[in-house]
Amino acid sequence: MPERRRERKNCATRLQNNCCPLLRQRTQTLPKETLHKALGIYLLQSHCALLYCNIKYCTFDTAGITAPVAASLRAAFPSVQQPTGMQKKLIRATLGKQDVLLQDDTGSGKSFAVMLALLSKPRVGTPNPENSKGNDDIEGLTTLLIVPHRDLAYQYLHWIHHLTLSEGNSPFSLAKYAQVLVRRVNRTTLQDLPARMQEAIGHVSADRDKALPHNPHILIATPNAVLDLVQRQPQLLRLSTLSTVVVDEVDAFLHVPNSKLPREHKKAAQKKLDRHVPDLVRVLDALFPTPRDKQQIFGRSHPSRNEFLKQGLVPVERPQLIMLSATLRTRLRSALYGAFGWMQRGKVLKLIRKRSSALPAHRLGRSAVHHVLVVSKTGDIKNIAGARPLNPVHNATAVLNGDAVVHHDEEEGNVFYDDDDPELHDDADKELLKAPLNVDPAILEAIAATFALDVPRVALLVLPATAAVRKIIFELRQLRVNAHPFNLVENAPSRSHLLSRSSDTRDENPTLIVGTLATIRGIDLPELSHVFMLGTPEGRAGDAYLHVAGRVGRFGGQGKVITVLEERKVAKTGGKVVVTDDPRKMTILLSRIGIKPARLEHFD
């Protein structure tokens, strides 16, 4: 304490000596305590002003992206004005050469920031074999962006499409900037897309010569499509000029067994990995050097990088490796250095918002309201036991859409129908009518009722991986729900919400987009206000819930996450009593990740 007082006194003396004579004369007449207190206030105000200036004038230009990309960003996305702190760090790291590991919250703009940085990277040229003088280089492939599913690839392509437009029409081919490579694309379903987007979507099929019509700056691909093309016609996939490899949602590809599992469970998990080597492992082993003592781990007997180097199919110099996820667990990060061996300790820039060895890092408690509904066999809907009363600020749909509160009594006539005969449009509907439904109809009725009461414009329903998506959509439509499958290319309603911004008006016929966790991970739908989850999350339950709930409450917005469960069931099988208690499982899960469910006002 005496040292702090002495330092403050010295600062006050320097301030008096350096200020103007009039101010010096006035401060000399002040008591010392008053002068020291005034100095503290002055320094605090100066610090706040400096911090404000840094925040106010921090733009994507100052973060490092090129002037043309920044100008296109302002024109295509005027609401995106300033990068977050993590976006700024990620852009600068991507523009460098160091490997990057990034873990940040869902909805923090990781994918968008890395896309801007990749567009700002210089293109790599290769000598033109047809030109003997060597002064006419061919632009090569600079970046391979690996994604877990095709819809995330299409989202990247939509962003780049709008960024490269100039007043609605661009003289440049989109395929020059970016292309998508996925499996099995039905060309007839692409007819509604702009011509430049159709040209930029390649796929692996019998017509292999058209898989990659041009050398793009960025190739956005799923690992299985990359492997298919390498095995069939490797010369079409020109990876020798690669300078950067980005893996988005990396933990969706790689599953490292928990070290705390019993020994027999570890052996079973290891055998599974040995039998089914992930496609991402095969791709990255071809692009990055792997130590000899680690080449046989996880059954890695596939061709090595050296074999591809002899054929000139991969770059001679090691590319930069960037990996992103909201749930980058400690054991996976360790495996990237150890078991997989793609990264080297001391040579990686780690941008980790929060340690994730025990709990997933999230801010869902502040950005979204979480509800859990329990449905009985008779169709009664109740809030889960222990749900807290809802804060008044979240107690109305008006918080989400600016409209007045819609109460149960006002909308009750629009929820229940007396129409017993389903509406059949074609033969496909007739077939779906006969198909078995592996979900309790009371669950779907509860989702339909909650959707009609609470959703203003757009909601998302996430189903278990084993659910029959088409059948459930058919049943929801019979309940007068405007349900559509999540498919950014083949389904126009899904695509229409990809780039549209949130609105203050309530839609007369709200849209329910239906998908699974594997198809919605990483997707950004700005209009989305509600996410429905059917049943308890599968697999790594905490991470799965984080990714589902992270579709709302993005960029500081608000949203609702509504999980719909069956009540506790007791059944006898083979003389044994089997108890299925999903509400208890959900209570334990939410408690572990620090989320307290709230009561949904429409139900008891």
> pLDDT grade, residue 82 (50/70/90)?
confident
> pLDDT grade, residue 561 (50/70/90)?
very high
Residue 579's contacts (CB-CB under 8 Å, 6 or more residues apart) are 568, 569, 570
Q: Is residue 514 within a helix (H) or strand (E), and if so which, with residue range? A: strand 511-516
**β-strand partners of 323:** 101, 247
1 vs 260, more confident: 260
Q: Which two tokens stand for residue 499?
A: 């780039």
**β-strand partners of 324:** 102, 248
**β-strand partners of 27:** none
Q: Which pLDDT value is given to residue 530? A: 92
296 vs 60, more confident: 60
- For 396-444, the pLDDT digits (tens) are 343 343 333 333 333 333 333 333 444 445 555 556 555 666 788 889 9
Highest mean pLDDT among 1-10, 362-371, 484-493: 484-493
- For 471-487, the pLDDT digits (tens) are 899 889 989 899 999 88
> pLDDT grade, residue 213 (50/70/90)?
low
Q: Which two tokens stand for residue 550?
A: 């992270």
Q: Any idea of the CA torsion for 13, 18, 21, 25, to the nearest 10 degrees?
A: -10
Domains, in order of start, for the chain: 67-126+136-352 (3.40.50.300), 368-390+429-593 (3.40.50.300)
- Burial degree of 328 (CB within 10 A; 0-12, 13-18, 19+): buried
CA 320 to each of CA 85, 91, 244, 246: distance values in angstroms, whole numbers, following the listed order: 22, 14, 5, 8
Q: Which pLDDT value is given to residue 366? A: 56
Residue 320's contacts (CB-CB under 8 Å, 6 or more residues apart) are 96, 97, 98, 99, 100, 243, 244, 245
Q: Which pLDDT value is given to residue 6? A: 60
CA angle 583, 454, 483 (to 5 degrees): 85
- For 448-471, the pLDDT digits (tens) are 999 999 988 899 999 988 888 888
Q: Which two tokens stand for residue 200?
A: 């930029």
Using the predicted structure, report yes or no on whether residue 153 has a pLDDT greater than 50.
Answer: yes
Q: Which two tokens stand for residue 54?
A: 């840094």
Q: Which residue in this structure is represented by tokens 């992103």?
A: 324
Using the predicted structure, report yes or no on whether residue 136 has a pLDDT greater than 60.
Answer: no
Q: Which pLDDT value is given to residue 209? A: 47
Using the predicted structure, report yes or no on whether residue 208 has a pLDDT greater than 60.
Answer: no
CA 131 to each of CA 86, 135, 139, 213: distance values in angstroms, whole numbers, following the listed order: 45, 8, 14, 21
Long-range contacts of range 565-574, CB-CB < 8 Å, 24 or more positions apart? 565/372, 565/373, 565/374, 565/375, 565/384, 565/535, 565/536, 566/374, 566/375, 566/440, 566/443, 566/535, 567/374, 567/375, 567/376, 567/377
Q: Is residue 548 within a helix (H) or strand (E), and if so which, with residue range? A: helix 541-549
> pLDDT grade, residue 19 (50/70/90)?
very low
Distance CA 218, CA 220 (A): 6
Question: Within 13 Å and on the Cβ side, how many CA atoms surround 3?
Answer: 0
Mean pLDDT within 228-248: 84
Using the predicted structure, report yes or no on whether residue 130 has a pLDDT greater than 90.
Answer: no
214 vs 413, more confident: 214
DSSP 365-384: HHH-EEEEEEE-TT--EEEP
Supply the mean pLDDT for the chain. 76
Q: Which pLDDT value is given to residue 81? A: 83
Are 320 and 245 in contact, with CB atoms under 8 Å apart? yes
Using the predicted structure, report yes or no on whether residue 596 has a pLDDT greater than 80.
Answer: yes
Q: Which two tokens stand for residue 263?
A: 């020994």
Q: Which pLDDT value is given to residue 309? A: 81
Q: Which two tokens stand for residue 146?
A: 């690996």
Using the predicted structure, report yes or no on whether residue 187 has a pLDDT greater than 80.
Answer: no
Are 318 and 99 in contact, with CB atoms under 8 Å apart? no
Q: Which pLDDT value is given to residue 245? A: 96
Q: Which pLDDT value is given to residue 450? A: 92
Distance CA 335, CA 333 (A): 5
79 vs 206, more confident: 79
Q: Which pLDDT value is given to residue 422? A: 45
Torsion sign across C-alpha atoms 21, 23, 26, 30? negative
Kindly give the pairing relationship between strand 369-375 and strand 560-566.
parallel
Q: Which pLDDT value is given to residue 243? A: 93
Using the predicted structure, report yes or no on whether residue 127 has a pLDDT greater than 90.
Answer: no
Q: Which pLDDT value is given to residue 335? A: 87
Distance CA 532, CA 372 (A): 10
179 vs 358, more confident: 179
Distance CA 582, CA 535 (A): 7
CA 396 to each of CA 405, 406, 604: distance values in angstroms, whole numbers, following the listed order: 5, 8, 16
Q: Which residue in this structure is represented by tokens 């009725």?
A: 445
Using the predicted structure, report yes or no on whether residue 204 has a pLDDT greater than 50.
Answer: yes
Distance CA 143, CA 156 (A): 13
- For 534-557, the pLDDT digits (tens) are 998 887 888 889 888 888 877 667
362 vs 472, more confident: 472
> pLDDT grade, residue 266 (50/70/90)?
low
Q: Is residue 352 within a helix (H) or strand (E), and if so which, with residue range? A: strand 348-352
CA angle 209, 211, 213 (to 5 degrees): 80
Question: Which one, of 528, 523, 544, 554, lies nearest residue 586 by Cα?
Answer: 544
Q: Which pLDDT value is given to residue 419? A: 38
345 vs 302, more confident: 345
Q: Which pLDDT value is given to residue 39? A: 52
CA angle 343, 349, 352 (to 5 degrees): 105
Q: Which pLDDT value is given to residue 92? A: 94
Residue 333's contacts (CB-CB under 8 Å, 6 or more residues apart) are 101, 350
Mean pLDDT within 97-124: 90
Q: Which two tokens stand for residue 450?
A: 């909650």
Using the predicted structure, report yes or no on whether residue 66 has a pLDDT greater than 60.
Answer: yes
Q: Which two tokens stand for residue 434?
A: 């006969």
Q: Which two tokens stand for residue 163?
A: 């960024």
Are 366 and 596 in contact, with CB atoms under 8 Å apart? no
